[in-house]
Structure 1
Amino acid sequence: MTGQMIQINTAQGHSFAGYLATPESGKGPGIVLCQEIFGINAAMRSKADFLAEEGYTVLVPDLFWRTEANIELGYSPEDFTKAIALYQQYDEDLGVQDVAACLDFLNALEQCDSEAGLGVVGYCMGGKLAYLAACRLPQVACAVSYYGVGIDQKLDEIANVKGRLVIHLAALDQFTPPELQSKIQQAAQAVGNVQCYIYEGVDHAFARPGSEHLHKPSARFAHERSITAFHDTIGPRYDLVALWEEHIRHEFDTRDVPATMATMVAQPYVNHIPTLTGGVGYSQLARFYRYHFVHQNPQDMKITSISRTVGSTQVVDEFIMSFTHDAEIDWLLPGVKATGKYVEIPMLGVIQFRGNKLCHEHIYWDQASVLVQIGLLDPTGLPVAGVETAHKLLDESLPSNSMMPSWPSSADKAID
C-alpha cells in the first residue's frame, strides 16, 4: 500500500505539499500525521501507510513549507544539523494553524469519513504539535503525541483538551529528562481524558522505523494504545471475533489456503512459539500453510474453547486442541512419525489485527505435555505433566501441587 504526494490548498489561500495515504476500502476516518524535524521522509510515509492499513485516511503535511518547501532528510550528521536549523526557525503557532487547515482539507475529502471527528498524531516536533492541536483545536477528537519535545513548556494548556489525548514518552529521552516527564505525567493525571505513558529503558525515536533507538516491543505497545484511542473516538470499529472465526474456519474446516490468506494483511506472520514454526511474509506463510499446516492436520482435530478476550486490536483465545497423532504433524511435532496416540493440549492464541485483517498470530502451548502424551518424554522425576494439564483446565477441582514434594509439609502450618 503506497500513498501519493498532493497539494493542500487552504481557505487562507496557501498551498503546500502533503503525503496522502488511503485505506484499501478507499475511505476511512481522517488523521493528520505531523512529521519529525526531517520532513516527509521515508519513515513518515511508512507511518502513514501503516495507519492506512489500520483503516485511516492519513495526511502528512510539509510543515516546513514556509521556510524551505519539500524537505526530505535522512539521519546523517549533516542532515541532522540542517533539520535542527529548520526547527529553530519554526513557528509552532503557525504550525498549529497548518494542522487546522489540514483537518479542514481532510474533512472535505471524499476519502475521509469525519462523522465521528478527526485525529492527529505526531512524532518529536510533530508530537508537540499534536499536543497543541489537542489543546487548541476543538475539531480534534483524538490526538496522540510520541516523545513530543517541549510539551512541558505548554502544560498550562492541557486543561483545554476537549477530545482524547495520549502522550507517549521515552524514559531515556535526553530532550525530555525524567523531571520533565514527571511534570507532564502529573499534569495528565489531573485531566480525565488525557493518558500519559512512560516507556522504560527506551530513548527518543523508539517508534521510528529504522531508528537506532527503535524498540519494537515498546513501539508495538504504544501503537496498540494509540489505535485503541483512535478506535474508541473516531473509529473504525471492526468485529474482530467474526474476522478471527472466518480465518480459523478456512484453516480447519474448508482447509482453503487462498481463503485463509485472504483474511490476513499483505505481509502477515505466524509464530508457533514452542516449535518456532510458521512463516513471515505472504509467500513464506502461504507455503507453510499449504504444505505444512492446513492439509496436514489430523482429520479428527477439534478445538474446545475455554475463554476469549477481545480488545480493540487483538483477540486472545484460550482453548484445548485434541487430535489423534495418526500422521506426522510438521508444525507441532516436526520430524516425529505418527504414534497413534490421542493428544489433548491447552493452547493460547494471541491474534493481532491491523484494520479488518489479521496481522499476526502468536500461538503458545506446553510442548512437554505433548511429548509425554505421545511417549517421547518420561515424566518420572520431572516437573512436567501429560494430559492432566488439559483435564485440570476443564475441571479446576482436580488436585493441585501434586508435583511439589514439599506440598505436604505446609499442611499444618498457620496461614496469615
Structure 2
Amino acid sequence: MTTIAVRSSSVDVPTADGVADAYLSHPDDGQAHPGVLLYMNAFGLRPVLEAMADRLAAEGYTVLVPNVFYRLGRAPLVRLPEPPELISTRTDPTLFERLGPMMDSLTAELFARDADAYLRWLADSPAATDGPVGITGYCLGAKLALQTAAARPERVAAAAGFHGGLLATAEPDSPHLLAGLVRAELYFGHADQDESLPVEQIDLLAKALTDAGVRHTCEVYEGAPHGFTQSDTASYRPEADARHWAALLALLKRSL
C-alpha cells in the first residue's frame, strides 16, 4: 500500500463575523486535490480531529477542519483530559454543562454564513481543485454537514454524518426539513445506543430523504454509542470506526 505524505498547517479563514482558526491538511505533492470539510464535534478542534484530517489527506484530499465556535475564541475552548486519559462525562460530569451554551450559540443563521466562508476559502486555496467538495461531520458536525449540503447544493457533491444527534426533531429548524434542498449524495452512520437520536428520529430522517429523492444511505451501527469514531473518548469503538472509514472513503471516491 502506497503512503502519501501530507503537509499540514494552522490557517485562518475570514468570515462575515471575524476569523475562524482552522487546520488544513493535504498531500505534499504540490498538486491541487478535491476539497473536504471536516466538521468537528462539540469537544472542538484538537489532535484527534487533526489526525483524522491527515488520514483523509493521505487518501488524496485537501481537508479543512474549522473551529466552528470561533466567535467564542480560538481552539481549545474547553479544557480536556491530557492523553492517555479519555474524554468522558463519567470523569467530568460538568462537561456538557460547559459545552451546551457553546453549541446553542451556533444558530442555523450564523452557521449558514460560516459555511459560505469555509467553502469560499477552499475554492480560493491553491491546494484544492476548483470543483465540488465533500463533507464529513461528527456528532454536532453531522448536523452541520447536512445544513451545508442544503445551503450550497451547487458546491457539495457528498456529505456524511456519523453519530449525529437531533437530526429529525419537532423543531421548526430541524435539519431533516432541509432534505428538499440537497443534491449531494448523503451517508449517515447512526449509533444505536445514542439517546440524542432515538429510532423515531432515525426513521423520520430516512423518510424525509427518501421523499425528497435524495441519494442516501442510512445505517445503524449496532452496539455503538454516541461518539464511536472519536478515539480520545470513552465512547470510541474500533470496529465501528473502521466501518465509518470504509463508508466515508467509498462515498468520497465515487463522488469527487
Question: Normalising by the residue count of structure 2, what TM-score does the alignment of the two structures yield?
Answer: 0.83
1:181 maps to 2:202: yes
The 3-state SS of whatever aligns with 2:45 is coil
- Deviation string 1:46-87 (CA, Å, 9 cap, x unpaired) is 211111111111111111112333334423525443222311
Alpha-carbon separation, structure 1, partners of 2:205 and 2:121: 31
- Deviation string 1:5-57 (CA, Å, 9 cap, x unpaired) is 111124x4732211111123343110111111122112211211111111111
The 3-state SS of whatever aligns with 1:205 is coil
Question: Which one has more relative contact order, counting CA pairs under 8 Å at least 6 apart?
Answer: 2
Percent identity for Structure 1 against Structure 2: 25
- Which residue number in structure 2 is paired with residue 21 of structure 1? 25
Alpha-carbon separation, structure 1, partners of 2:107 and 2:73: 13
User: Which residue identity lines up with residue 51 of structure 2 in the other structure?
Assistant: S
Alignment partner for residue 135 of structure 1, among 143, 150, 166? 150
- Which residue number in structure 2 is paired with residue 197 of structure 1? 219
- Aligned residue pair count: 232
- Which residue number in structure 2 is paired with residue 91 of structure 1? 107
What is the CA-CA distance between 1:185 and the residue it aligns to? 2.4
The 3-state SS of whatever aligns with 1:232 is helix
1:295-310 mapped onto 2 (5 Å cutoff): none
The 3-state SS of whatever aligns with 1:201 is strand
- Deviation string 1:339-376 (CA, Å, 9 cap, x unpaired) is xxxxxxxxxxxxxxxxxxxxxxxxxxxxxxxxxxxxxx
- Deviation string 1:130-162 (CA, Å, 9 cap, x unpaired) is 011112212111111112222102322112211
Judging changes above 3 Å, is the alpha-carbon distance between structure 1 residues 233 and 35 closer, same or farther for their aligned structure 2 residues? Answer: same
User: Which residue identity lines up with residue 219 of structure 2 in the other structure?
Assistant: Y
Task: Kindly indicate whether the alpha-carbon contact (under 8 Å) linking 2:184 and 2:214 is maintained by their aligned counterparts in 1.
Answer: no
User: Which residue identity lines up with residue 6 of structure 1 in the other structure?
Assistant: V
- Which residue number in structure 1 is paired with residue 134 of structure 2? 119
Alpha-carbon separation, structure 2, partners of 1:70 and 1:51: 21
Judging changes above 3 Å, is the alpha-carbon distance between structure 1 residues 44 and 72 closer, same or farther for their aligned structure 2 residues? Answer: farther
Task: Kindly indicate whether the alpha-carbon contact (under 8 Å) linking 1:24 and 1:55 is maintained by their aligned counterparts in 2.
Answer: no
Alignment partner for residue 71 of structure 1, among 61, 70, 76? 76
What is the CA-CA distance between 1:89 and the residue it aligns to? 2.2
Alignment partner for residue 98 of structure 2, among 82, 85, 89? 82
Unaligned runs of 5+ in 2: 1-5, 81-86, 169-173
- Which residue number in structure 2 is paired with residue 226 of structure 1? 248
Judging changes above 3 Å, is the alpha-carbon distance between structure 1 residues 46 and 96 closer, same or farther for their aligned structure 2 residues? Answer: farther
User: Which residue identity lines up with residue 162 of structure 1 in the other structure?
Assistant: R
Alignment partner for residue 51 of structure 1, among 56, 72, 83? 56
- Which residue number in structure 1 is paired with residue 8 of structure 2? 3
User: Which residue identity lines up with residue 185 of structure 1 in the other structure?
Assistant: A
User: Which residue identity lines up with residue 26 of structure 2 in the other structure?
Assistant: T
Alpha-carbon separation, structure 1, partners of 2:70 and 2:180: 30
Alpha-carbon separation, structure 2, partners of 1:154 and 1:192: 14
Task: Kindly indicate whether the alpha-carbon contact (under 8 Å) linking 1:24 and 1:53 is maintained by their aligned counterparts in 2.
Answer: no
User: Which residue identity lines up with residue 23 of structure 2 in the other structure?
Assistant: Y
- Which residue number in structure 2 is paired with residue 110 of structure 1? 126
Alpha-carbon separation, structure 1, partners of 2:53 and 2:45: 10
Unaligned runs of 5+ in 1: 235-416
Alignment partner for residue 61 of structure 1, among 57, 61, 66? 66
The 3-state SS of whatever aligns with 1:49 is helix
What is the CA-CA distance between 1:120 and the residue it aligns to? 1.5
The 3-state SS of whatever aligns with 1:6 is strand
Task: Kindly indicate whether the alpha-carbon contact (under 8 Å) linking 2:163 and 2:190 is maintained by their aligned counterparts in 1.
Answer: yes
What is the CA-CA distance between 1:204 and the residue it aligns to? 0.5
Question: Normalising by the residue count of structure 1, what TM-score does the alignment of the two structures yield?
Answer: 0.53
Task: Kindly indicate whether the alpha-carbon contact (under 8 Å) linking 1:170 and 1:202 is maintained by their aligned counterparts in 2.
Answer: yes
What is the CA-CA distance between 1:165 and the residue it aligns to? 1.3
Task: Kindly indicate whether the alpha-carbon contact (under 8 Å) linking 2:182 and 2:214 is maintained by their aligned counterparts in 1.
Answer: no
When Rg is computed on C-alpha atoms for both structures, the one with the higher figure is: 1
Alignment partner for residue 44 of structure 2, among 12, 27, 39? 39
Task: Kindly indicate whether the alpha-carbon contact (under 8 Å) linking 1:64 and 1:71 is maintained by their aligned counterparts in 2.
Answer: no
Task: Kindly indicate whether the alpha-carbon contact (under 8 Å) linking 2:179 and 2:214 is maintained by their aligned counterparts in 1.
Answer: no
Judging changes above 3 Å, is the alpha-carbon distance between structure 1 residues 129 and 13 closer, same or farther for their aligned structure 2 residues? Answer: closer
Task: Kindly indicate whether the alpha-carbon contact (under 8 Å) linking 1:189 and 1:195 is maintained by their aligned counterparts in 2.
Answer: no
